Amino acid sequence: MPAEPVNVEQPKHPMYAMTTYELKDYRRLLERALNDRTIGSAPVAASLRAKLDEVLAEEESRTRAKNATGTWPVHN
């Protein structure tokens, strides 16, 4: 029985306002969707890769800020 395709919905908050856990969950959802064989090289895959790149950049930015200050950055 084939697995159900992964549905990637737009997050409720802008990326900068997402908690670390929301960001991690969104990254995992994007990664799972890109590994789904039904997506393959469809045009939607390029969009998912771009979103994943944004998530990875945000995570990296937060990690750099934490390493520089010793605390997680707070966005207002």
Q: What is the pLDDT of residues 14-70, one digit of tens each?
A: 998 999 999 999 999 999 988 887 776 678 888 899 999 999 999 999 998 888 877
Alpha helices by DSSP H, listed for 1-76, are 20-35, 43-69
Q: What is the DSSP letter of 17?
A: G
Instruction: Please say whether the beta carbons of 23 and 59 come within 8 A.
Output: yes
What global pTM score does this model have? 0.73
Instruction: Please say whether the beta carbons of 27 and 52 come within 8 A.
Output: yes
Specify the pLDDT at position 1: 40
Instruction: Please say whether the beta carbons of 44 and 34 come within 8 A.
Output: no
Domain map (residue ranges) of the chain: 15-64
